[in-house]
Chain A
Amino acid sequence: MKVLAATLATVMLLAGLALVPLPAGAADQEIPLTIEKNRFEPAEIKVKAGAPFVLVITNKDKSAEEFESKDLKIEKVIAGGKTVKVKVPALKAGTYKFVGEYHEATAQGRIVAE
């Protein structure tokens, strides 16, 4: 049992270590996204399917916002007045919704990959 627990731990550690050498992906397209008055601008983003890209999210509000997409498995807190880059892996064609978790009533948008 101890051996099993140790093996399990090692496997998980390795999975964690696999994270470290992340590819740089310098050529990925950067797409701006602004948060202002608890809304996303633009609310709809068109991207090419099959190509990874970088969302450059600028929060112009004073309050923090959490960019959250259940479809993309991304949760990213952006402090007030900050800009954060979020790498998005290549997407299959389709619509991917995202929200601002702290102001979900107004902060809504989607990414359309085609």
Chain B
Amino acid sequence: MGGTFLITLREAFEAALLLGLVYTYLDKIDARQHFGWVSLGGALGLAASIAMGVTVAYFSGPLVDLGPDVIAAAVIFLAVILLTWHAWWMQRHARGISGEVERRIEHARRTQRLWMVGLIAFTGVFREGAETVIFLWGLMAEATSAAGWGSVAAGVAGVGSAALLGWMIFRGGRRLSLARFFTVTTVLLIFLAAGLFSTGIGRLQSLGVLPMMAPLWDTSWLLSDSSVVGSFLAGLLGYRERPSPLEAAGYAAYLVVVGSVILGGAWRRPQPATAVRAGASR
């Protein structure tokens, strides 16, 4: 029963984290009226998860064998692109924050493509959603006894706890200053996307698109992916107990290239608004 709770908590964690972040983000830029985009994205993600779960549970054949893996890999890379885009965008707006917050917010609202935020919510929910649906479905099929229904309850409680975690991120994020929230989230998203990128590479290896390789190291004795701490680190930072050389290289390359492009800008001062203000005060 405890295992069931942890499994669904683990599967729903990433979705909750992303939903919490994008809701907070919209709240921060004073665009609460656009919460609907996130809710719509999340709801569509849930619907797609259920559709996929039902398909896999009721049908079989080569398309059902391979299709979900290809879709999963595509969703992973789509999520990497979206998160990279969003992190880059946020960092651009977090620069020179000393200035007029309201103008920046106004600019953010005008230029941000809000459907992108909705799409982030969609990929966040859909990525592990189908698995959670099939898992809970199986539990319900088995639940003929009181203990069985206890497992179902534990599974639902796991998803609920993940949602609570997302809510806490929302509450906590609202208290941070705009600048700090943008910076913290940007860094978090870069790590998250780096981890996803390496997961995607691993999927391509298992699909035979990229060559299979022996793991570069094995730290399963130290910190297992499936332990509570390990799985949270896997979700947040992309921790792997036995990464292939390609996965590790992809992770490092993403961090170095994207990290320096996005965060590197933070140390420059190209913000025209800041320059003008600096000139005026002289």
- The number of chain B residues with a CB under 8 A from chain A is 56
Per the bound structure, the CA–CA distance linking A110 and B168 in Å amounts to: 41
From 186 to 236 in chain B, residues with beta carbon under 8 angstroms from any chain A beta carbon are: 200, 202-209, 211-212, 214-215, 220, 225-226
Per the bound structure, the CA–CA distance linking A71 and B32 in Å amounts to: 44
Residues of B within 8 Å of A102, CB to CB, are: 3, 7, 135, 138
Residues of A within 8 Å of B17, CB to CB, are: none
B96 to chain A, nearest CB (A): 15
Say yes or no: A5-B88 contact (C-beta < 8 A), given A19-B73, A79-B57: yes
A31 contacts the other chain (CB 8 A): no
Verify A86–B244 contact, CB threshold 8 A: no
Per the bound structure, the CA–CA distance linking A30 and B139 in Å amounts to: 29
A97 to chain B, nearest CB (A): 9
Residue of B nearest to A59 (CB): B138
A16 to chain B, nearest CB (A): 5
Per the bound structure, the CA–CA distance linking A22 and B74 in Å amounts to: 14
Verify B7–A89 contact, CB threshold 8 A: no
A68 to chain B, nearest CB (A): 9
B66 to chain A, nearest CB (A): 7
Verify A9–B206 contact, CB threshold 8 A: no
Verify A9–B85 contact, CB threshold 8 A: yes
Say yes or no: A80-B206 contact (C-beta < 8 A), given A5-B88, A16-B74: no
Say yes or no: A85-B207 contact (C-beta < 8 A), given A5-B84, A70-B225, A80-B142: no
Per the bound structure, the CA–CA distance linking A68 and B209 in Å amounts to: 19
Verify B241–A70 contact, CB threshold 8 A: yes
Residue of B nearest to A66 (CB): B131
Partner of A22 from B57, B138, B206, B208 at Cβ < 8 Å: B208
Residues of B within 8 Å of A22, CB to CB, are: 66, 70, 207-209
Residues of B within 8 Å of A91, CB to CB, are: 212
Residues of A within 8 Å of B226, CB to CB, are: 101, 104
A27 to chain B, nearest CB (A): 14
Residues of A within 8 Å of B205, CB to CB, are: 73, 89
B65 contacts the other chain (CB 8 A): yes
A51 contacts the other chain (CB 8 A): no
B153 contacts the other chain (CB 8 A): no
From 51 to 81 in chain B, residues with beta carbon under 8 angstroms from any chain A beta carbon are: 53, 56-57, 60, 62, 64-66, 68-70, 73-74, 77-78, 80-81
20 contacts between A and B (CB under 8 A): A8-B258, A18-B209, A19-B204, A63-B138, A70-B225, A70-B242, A73-B202, A73-B203, A73-B247, A74-B206, A77-B130, A77-B131, A79-B53, A82-B56, A87-B207, A88-B206, A89-B211, A91-B212, A104-B3, A104-B226
Q: Give residues in A with beta carbon < 8 Å to B.
A: 1, 4-5, 8-9, 12-13, 15-16, 18-20, 22-23, 52, 61-66, 70-77, 79-80, 82-92, 94, 101-102, 104-105
Given contacts A16-B78, A63-B138, A73-B206, 20 further A-B contacts (CB under 8 A): A5-B84, A8-B258, A13-B77, A13-B81, A16-B74, A16-B77, A66-B135, A70-B241, A71-B242, A75-B131, A77-B130, A77-B135, A79-B56, A79-B137, A80-B138, A80-B141, A82-B56, A83-B60, A89-B207, A101-B226
